[in-house]
């Protein structure tokens, strides 16, 4: 059985979509590509079970749509699997129809969609498209294997798969995130064309870089806006053992010559797990061979933890600040105090790490002064030198999240056209105008451009890799300014 896991081209004058492995969809003027780790795990698992698998990220390959259709016609796969997200789901309905139309008397591909949007609203996609199957929940790998085995051997379907039977839409029950992640094979990097993602990513300072995932997805998993809590509810958190993750890092260093690794778990594990992992990095000497990056929550780690992480080879730490207003943090169920923000980034920086913060604007309950307060805090942290980089995004209530539910209850949504949920403009009614939000966001990016910032960067240059990194990072900032232009 031949399976193609694909990201079809999405031609748009908005830019290049950042779709795979992304919690908040965005079109980028200066494309960045994130390794879609869970779909890559699915490709690997199917391959291990003797399915013929083709990895086809036509977005990262820069293909035109016609080339993609020709490729599918030539390969004639039994199954085409696509990851989708709210702003492009209707595009995927159209593409599904066009893929089906390629079929003939001897060949008709089955189409499978997966992702947070179809997990939240499966009936909608079954009703509005010709899709054959939906995978709900975030374990794309084990779910897809179950579906293929079902089609090949008529074994029972794992829970969480939607299908059609006798003209009716049915499903195999509510998905469950069970299974031992340590038992899964390490991602087959060659099969999934890892080089496509090893350089065009602004986060990597050392090249080539790649991604791993120690956990699915975040041990907190309860923030009301977080789209991936739809795929991975916090109470069903799954984590690999430190040894298993270390073994994969060893393989990446020794087999692929990787110099930087981003762990893309929603939040990296903490406590005893983190200490054991860091000790392992030091004992195995990996801390001298590779730099690590990860997502972390503020308000959890003490100075000793940050110091140990730095010693273990961590460099770039992404931290969600979200808002400088306590009432907003509480509404978001962020479980964070404003004062923990400053303490956290200060400690991380003191340990020698490179903190990156994300802030969000466009909350329906925040007024201009509240938004300004957040922007001012971000600027202050940046000016103090406690954060190295920052990112501002417009908060989007994706279906399936508690925030979306609140929008429905309070009549906050200005639109239900899914293509507008792409972070270019607010989709919730706000007390600030769209123009004010755009200006504030641009102002934040412009605050980078200070003489002391450039001086700090120049002083931190240690070699050619650093110069190349700052060149790429500079282009990304200019790109972000363009992304938020009216
Ligand atoms: S801490 Fe981050 S990954 Fe975890 S639920 Fe909140 S936003 Fe999502």
pLDDT by residue for the chain (486 residues), tens digit each?
A: 999 999 999 988 898 888 887 888 888 888 889 999 999 999 999 999 999 999 999 999 999 999 999 999 999 999 999 999 999 999 999 999 999 999 999 999 999 999 999 999 999 999 999 999 999 999 999 999 999 999 999 999 999 999 999 999 999 999 999 889 999 999 999 999 999 999 988 889 999 999 999 999 999 999 999 999 999 998 889 999 999 999 999 999 999 999 999 999 999 999 999 999 999 999 999 999 999 999 999 999 999 999 999 999 999 999 999 999 999 999 999 999 999 999 999 999 999 999 999 999 999 999 999 999 999 999 899 989 999 988 888 999 999 999 999 999 999 999 999 999 998 889 999 998 888 888 888 877 776 666 666 666 666 656 666 666 666 666 665 555 555 444
How far apart, in whole angstroms, are the C-alpha atoms of residue 246 and residue 269? 14
CB 296 within 8 A of CB 319: yes
Q: Determine whether the shortest distance from the Cβ of 399 to ligand 1 is under 6 A.
A: no
What is the Å distance from ligand 1's center to 218 Cα?
6
Minimum-distance ligand 1 atom for the alpha carbon of 220? 4
Ligand 1, atom 5, lies closest to the CA of 221
DSSP 138: S
Does the CA dihedral 224-230-231-234 come out positive or negative?
Answer: positive
Q: Determine whether the shortest distance from the Cβ of 296 to ligand 1 is under 6 A.
A: no
In the structure encoding, which two tokens stand for residue 14, read together? 């908005």
Q: Determine whether the shortest distance from the Cβ of 17 to ligand 1 is under 6 A.
A: no
SS3 letters across 383-413: HCCCCCEEEEEECCCCCCCHHHHHHHHHCCE
- Of the candidates 388, 333, 389, 329, the one whose C-alpha atom is nearest the C-alpha of residue 360 is 329
- Unique residue bearing structure tokens 């709210």: 86
Best of 267, 330, 391 to mutate for ligand 1, by most ligand atoms within 8 A of CB? 267
In three-state secondary structure terms, 345 is: helix
Q: 271: how many CB neighbours lie within 10 A of its CB?
A: 11
Residues 6+ apart with CB under 8 A from 317: 293, 294, 295, 296, 309, 348, 353, 354, 355, 356
Q: Determine whether the shortest distance from the Cβ of 393 to ligand 1 is under 6 A.
A: no
**Strands, E, within 141-187: which ranges?**
161-165, 168-171
Ligand 1, atom 2, lies closest to the CA of 266
Helix orientation angle between 271-283 and 242-256, rounded to the nearest 10 degrees: 30
Please give the torsion angle defined by the CA atoms of residues 18, 448, 371 and 402, in that order, rounded to the nearest 10 degrees: 30
Domains along the sequence of the chain with CATH:
2-171 (3.40.50.280), 203-483 (3.80.30.20)
Residues 6+ apart with CB under 8 A from 472: 202
Q: Is the peptide bond before 192 cis (omega within 30 degrees of 0)?
A: no
pTM of the model: 0.92
Q: 367: how many CB neighbours lie within 10 A of its CB?
A: 12
């Amino acid at each position: 059985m031949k399976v193609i896991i694909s990201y079809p081209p999405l031609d748009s004058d908005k830019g290049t979509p950042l779709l795979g492995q992304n919690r908040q969809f965005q079109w980028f003027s200066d494309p960045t590509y994130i390794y879609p780790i869970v779909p890559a795990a699915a490709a690997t698992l199917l391959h291990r079970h003797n399915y013929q698998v083709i990895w086809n990220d036509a977005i990262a390959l820069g293909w035109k749509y016609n080339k993609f259709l020709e490729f599918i016609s030539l390969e004639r796969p039994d199954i085409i699997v696509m990851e989708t997200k709210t702003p492009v789901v209707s595009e995927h309905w159209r593409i599904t129809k066009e893929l089906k139309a390629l079929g003939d008397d001897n060949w008709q591909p089955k189409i499978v969609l997966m992702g947070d949007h179809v997990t939240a609203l499966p009936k909608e996609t079954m009703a509005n498209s010709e899709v054959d199957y939906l995978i709900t929940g975030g374990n794309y790998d084990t779910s897809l294997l179950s579906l293929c085995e079902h089609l090949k051997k008529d074994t029972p379907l794992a829970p969480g798969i939607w299908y059609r039977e006798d003209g009716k839409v049915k499903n195999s029950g509510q998905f469950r995130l069970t299974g031992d992640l340590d038992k899964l094979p390490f991602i087959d990097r060659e099969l999934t064309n890892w080089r496509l993602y090893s350089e065009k990513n602004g986060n990597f300072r050392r090249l080539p870089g790649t991604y791993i995932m120690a956990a699915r997805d975040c041990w907190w998993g309860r923030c009301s806006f977080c789209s991936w809590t739809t795929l991975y509810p916090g109470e069903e958190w799954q984590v690999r053992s430190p040894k298993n993750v270390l073994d994969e890092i060893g393989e990446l260093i020794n087999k692929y010559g990787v110099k930087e690794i981003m762990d893309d778990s929603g939040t990296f594990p903490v406590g005893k797990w983190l200490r054991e992992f860091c000790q392992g990095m030091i004992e195995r000497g990996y801390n001298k061979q590779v730099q690590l990056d990860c997502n972390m929550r503020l308000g959890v780690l003490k100075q000793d933890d940050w110091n140990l992480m730095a010693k273990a080879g961590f460099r770039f730490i992404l931290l969600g600040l979200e808002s400088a207003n306590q009432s907003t943090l509480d509404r978001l169920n962020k479980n964070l105090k404003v004062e923990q923000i400053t303490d956290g980034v200060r400690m991380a920086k003191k340990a020698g790490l490179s903190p990156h913060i994300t802030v969000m604007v466009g909350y329906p309950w925040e007024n201009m002064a509240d938004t300004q307060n957040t922007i001012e805090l971000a600027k202050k942290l940046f000016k103090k030198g406690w954060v190295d980089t920052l990112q501002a995004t417009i908060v989007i209530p994706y279906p399936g999240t508690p925030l979306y539910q609140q929008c429905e209850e309070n009549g906050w949504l200005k639109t239900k056209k899914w293509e507008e949920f792409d972070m270019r403009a607010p989709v919730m009614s706000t007390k600030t105008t769209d123009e004010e939000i755009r200006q504030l966001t641009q102002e934040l990016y412009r605050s980078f451009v200070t003489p002391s910032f450039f001086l700090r960067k120049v002083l931190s240059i240690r070699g050619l890799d650093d110069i190349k990194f700052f060149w790429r990072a500079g282009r990304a900032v200019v790109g972000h300014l363009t992304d938020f232009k009216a």
